[in-house]
């Protein structure tokens, strides 16, 4: 690997100006991009834009209505954040299960999103938390709901002159879970993941979102299963019904990590485990 | 920026390595792993998979264990880095208590994973000097031992934990 001179901006403004340049690729934790560049010798090599020093987008903040996470916040920082434990337990759980200690210390939330893998573990939690992303260029800024950000595997609506500059999560008093299945507990990419966020009043499910990772070209919502559960009280029968229809919502493929049939079955198993966890308090 | 004779762009960086201040010109697309081994001659940090899977290149940067194969030289500007070479006290004729525990428990078979295992162990102790087995396994989950000597390695970490004092750890974060 031999790359052109990297760009090392000291401020977000400088970074956004530099991002407008030709063939400029941002690098945050580097845990995806350096793996991709490792065996790549083809031209033209990208000019790396090193985000490490941009403190302004490396923090977690909370206001009355929402929690804002800077894109450079690492998995380790998410895992430890009291704010996120209180308002986004699905996200802290997902961050704690991914990679290894070494990877979590470098991997960032912005990199997980921009990388666009349907197996990115922070994505399904952000779907069910109703997150939105702030995408900025040197000229403008736009807010994109997370479900409109991904177009396909590795493909997002991020323009070449844009950076993700914030991830915003509305404050909800939700129950929830994130469960994943991988070959081993550490250092393995998810074969399947299920995230959910529920608001339960007087035992009745007043609101529910379920998202599935690694079983479609992008993370997807399980809307039919959500509809089935909405308005009901959790019971073993309701959970069994939900676990059986959610299998049909998954659209997995066979690949090196798993096969479609197994993935479908496991989506049901993970949903069942998660909902039982809530039912049994 | 200047170019070195390999026509690679280089960058001027400052960092601390094992407690010593460095100011170096580094090839900007080199990983910290390559820079340590090929430019500085610190070959104690091992080069295994180069894609973050094996942990053989684990070093401590600003108190945290990271894979040196997944960091570029411009990203360590201003950092405080510790490698296996700095673990035993400088000039002392004695190993660090963690290294001693690895020896005593036969935690090295071929020894290739040992530097990374030891750096991950130090990082664990910096957060928790009295870990239970589950916490030890979690802390070492990013370090592979291809001889599969995990039992002895976990024994060594447990033994090291029983011996370690704050003094043995202080330098890694200062
Ligand atoms: C050994 C190993 C294990 C892993 N395990 C897991 C796992 O269990 N779960 C999981 O989800 N992932 C895993 N990953 C993948 C990776 O660690 C994550 O996707 C991580 O979140 C990437 O973040 P990063 O900061 O390292 O990204 P980088 O590699 O720095 O960047 C990734 C992409 O995002 C772009 N980018 C980064 N920041 C921004 C920004 N602010 N704005 C716009 N674009 C940006 C970059 O240009 C690049 O295209 C693993 C990786 C390795 C090497």
C-alpha atoms less than 13 angstroms from C-alpha of A147 in its C-beta half-sphere: 12
Distance from C-alpha of A209 to C-alpha of A273, rounded to nearest angstrom: 16
Rounded to the nearest 10°, the torsion over CA B27, B29, B30, B32 is 110
Which pLDDT belongs to residue A185? 80
Q: CATH code at B14?
A: 3.10.20.30
Q: ipTM higher than 0.90?
A: yes
Rounded mean pLDDT, A158-187: 93
Of A51, A102, A111, the residue with max ligand 1 atoms within 8 A of its CB, to mutate for a pocket test, comes to A111
Which pLDDT belongs to residue B4? 45
Task: Name every protein residue with a CB atom under 6 angstroms from any ligand 1 atom.
Answer: A 25-33, 35, 71, 98-99, 103, 106-108, 110-112, 114-115, 120-121, 158, 163-164, 187, 189; B 51-53
Alpha helix (H) residue ranges in B105-145? 114-127, 133-139
Give the domain extent around B63.
10-86
pTM for the model stands at: 0.96
Whether B156 and B133 map to the same domain: the answer is yes
Q: At what angle do helices B150-163 and B114-127 cross, to 10 degrees?
A: 40
pLDDT tens per residue across span A5-18: 899 999 999 999 99
pLDDT tens per residue across span A88-98: 999 999 999 99
Instruction: Kindly tell me if the per-residue pLDDT of B1 is higher than 50.
Output: no
Interchain proximity A30–B70, CB inside 8 Å: yes
**What's the per-residue H, E or C state across A127-145?**
HHCCCEEEEECCCCEEEEE
CA of A224 to the centre of ligand 1 (A): 31
Over chain B, what is the mean pLDDT?
94
CA of A87 to the centre of ligand 1 (A): 23
Domain with CATH 3.30.465.10 in chain A: 58-170
Domain stop point among B32, B58, B86: B86
pLDDT tens per residue across span B22-51: 999 999 999 999 999 999 999 999 999 999
Rounded mean pLDDT, B83-102: 95
Best residue of A27, A50, A74, A101 to probe chain B, by most B CBs closer than 10 Å = A101
Interchain proximity B29–A3, CB inside 8 Å: yes
Interchain proximity B11–A48, CB inside 8 Å: no
Please check whether residue A148 is in contact with residue A157, taking contact to mean a CB–CB distance below 8 angstroms: yes
The reply to whether B2 falls in a domain is no
Closest approach of chain B CAs to the CA of A212, in angstroms?
25
Instruction: Kindly tell me if the per-residue pLDDT of B3 is higher than 70.
Output: no
Best residue of A77, A100, A111 to probe chain B, by most B CBs closer than 10 Å = A100
Nearest CA in chain B to A102: B66
Please check whether residue A234 is in contact with residue A241, taking contact to mean a CB–CB distance below 8 angstroms: no
The reply to whether B55 falls in a domain is yes
CA of B137 to the centre of ligand 1 (A): 24
Instruction: Kindly tell me if the per-residue pLDDT of A172 is higher than 90.
Output: no
Which pLDDT belongs to residue A233? 97
Protein residue whose Cα sits closest to atom 4 of ligand 1: A99
Counted domains in chain B: 2
Rounded mean pLDDT, B152-164: 97
Q: The dihedral of CA A108, A113, A117, A119: what is its sign?
A: positive
Strand pairing category for A24-27 and A47-50: parallel
Whether B64 and B105 map to the same domain: the answer is no
Whether B27 and B76 map to the same domain: the answer is yes
The domain made up of A58-170 has a fold known as 3.30.465
Closest approach of chain A CAs to the CA of B143, in angstroms?
9
Quote the DSSP letter at residue B39: I
Whether B80 and B101 map to the same domain: the answer is no
Domain stop point among B86, B119, B152: B86
> B65 in contact with A at a CB cutoff of 8 Å?
yes
Distance from C-alpha of A19 to C-alpha of A26, rounded to nearest angstrom: 8
Please check whether residue A242 is in contact with residue A230, taking contact to mean a CB–CB distance below 8 angstroms: no
Distance from C-alpha of A15 to C-alpha of A6, rounded to nearest angstrom: 12
**Residue that has been written with the tokens 């690694």 in this structure:** A214
Task: Give CATH superfamily name and number for A175-279.
Answer: CO dehydrogenase flavoprotein, C-terminal domain (3.30.390.50)
* Helix (H/G/I), strand (E/B), else coil: B90: coil
Distance from C-alpha of A238 to C-alpha of A278, rounded to nearest angstrom: 13
Q: CATH code at B133?
A: 1.10.150.120
Q: Which residues of A226-244 are buried (b: 16+ CB within 10 A; e: fewer)?
A: bebbeebebeeebbeebbe
Interchain proximity A76–B65, CB inside 8 Å: no
CA of A36 to the centre of ligand 1 (A): 11
The reply to whether B168 falls in a domain is yes
β-sheet bridge partners, residue A49: A7, A26
Quote the DSSP letter at residue B85: G
The reply to whether B4 falls in a domain is no
Count CB neighbours of A79 within 10 A: 18
Token couple for A22 = 């030709």
Count CB neighbours of A66 within 10 A: 16
* Helix (H/G/I), strand (E/B), else coil: B61: strand
pLDDT tens per residue across span A115-166: 999 999 999 999 999 999 999 999 999 999 999 999 999 999 999 999 999 9
CA of A27 to the centre of ligand 1 (A): 9
**Residue that has been written with the tokens 């070449």 in this structure:** A160
Distance from C-alpha of A149 to C-alpha of B51, rounded to nearest angstrom: 27
Confidence of residue A252 (pLDDT cuts 50, 70, 90): confident
Domain stop point among B59, B86, B113: B86
What are the backbone angles phi and psi of residue A145, rounded to the nearest 5°? -60, 145
Distance from C-alpha of A161 to C-alpha of A141, rounded to nearest angstrom: 11
Nearest CA in chain B to A28: B75
Q: Please give the order of strands across the beta sheet that includes B80-82.
A: B20-27, B10-17, B80-82, B58-61, B64-67
Interchain proximity B141–A101, CB inside 8 Å: yes
Closest approach of chain B CAs to the CA of A239, in angstroms?
31
Interchain proximity A6–B28, CB inside 8 Å: yes
Alpha helix (H) residue ranges in B20-113? 32-34, 97-104
Over chain A, what is the mean pLDDT?
94
CA of A126 to the centre of ligand 1 (A): 16
> B8 in contact with A at a CB cutoff of 8 Å?
yes
């Amino acid at each position: 690997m031999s790359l052109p001179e990297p760009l090392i901006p000291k401020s977000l403004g400088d970074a956004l100006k530099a991002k407008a340049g030709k063939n400029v690729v941002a690098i945050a934790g580097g845990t995806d991009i350096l793996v991709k560049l490792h065996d790549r010798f083809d031209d033209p090599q990208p000019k790396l834009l090193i985000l490490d020093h941009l403190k302004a987008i490396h923090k977690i903040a909370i206001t009355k209505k929402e929690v804002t996470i800077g894109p450079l916040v690492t998995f380790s920082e998410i895992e430890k954040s009291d704010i996120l434990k209180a308002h986004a337990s699905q996200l802290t759980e997902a961050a704690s299960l991914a990679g290894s200690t070494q990877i979590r210390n470098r991997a960032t939330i912005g990199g997980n999103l921009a990388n666009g893998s349907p197996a990115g573990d922070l994505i399904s939690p952000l779907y069910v938390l109703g997150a939105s992303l702030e995408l900025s260029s040197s000229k403008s800024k736009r807010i994109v709901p997370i479900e409109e950000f991904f177009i396909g595997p590795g493909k997002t609506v991020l323009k070449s002159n844009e950076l993700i500059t914030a991830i915003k999560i509305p404050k909800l008093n939700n129950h929830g879970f994130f469960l994943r299945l991988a070959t081993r507990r550490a250092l393995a990419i998810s074969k399947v993941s299920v995230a959910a966020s529920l608001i339960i009043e007087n035992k009745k499910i007043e609101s529910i979102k379920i998202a599935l990772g690694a079983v479609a070209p992008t993370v997807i919502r399980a809307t039919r299963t959500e509809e089935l559960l909405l308005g009901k009280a959790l019971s073993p029968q309701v959970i069994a019904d939900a676990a059986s229809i959610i299998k049909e919502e998954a659209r997995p493929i066979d690949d090196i990590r798993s096969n479609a049939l197994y993935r479908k079955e496991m989506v049901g198993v993970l949903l069942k485990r998660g909902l039982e966890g809530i039912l049994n308090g | 920026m200047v170019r070195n004779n390999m026509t690679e762009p280089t960058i001027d960086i400052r960092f601390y390595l094992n407690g010593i201040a460095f100011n170096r010109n580094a090839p900007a697309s080199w990983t910290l792993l390559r820079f340590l081994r090929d430019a500085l001659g610190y070959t104690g940090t091992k080069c295994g998979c180069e894609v973050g899977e094996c942990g053989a290149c684990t070093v401590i940067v600003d108190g945290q264990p990271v894979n040196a194969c997944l960091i570029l030289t411009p990203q360590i500007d201003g950092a405080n880095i510790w490698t296996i070479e700095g673990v035993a006290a400088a000039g002392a004729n004695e190993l660090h208590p963690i290294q001693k525990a690895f020896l005593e428990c036969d935690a090295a078979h071929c020894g290739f994973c040992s530097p990374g295992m030891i750096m991950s162990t130090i990082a664990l102790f910096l957060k928790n000097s009295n870990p239970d087995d589950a916490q030890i396994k979690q802390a070492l989950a990013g370090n592979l031992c291809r001889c599969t000597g995990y039992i002895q390695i976990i024994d060594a970490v447990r033994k090291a934990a029983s011996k370690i004092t704050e003094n043995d750890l202080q330098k890694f974060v200062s």
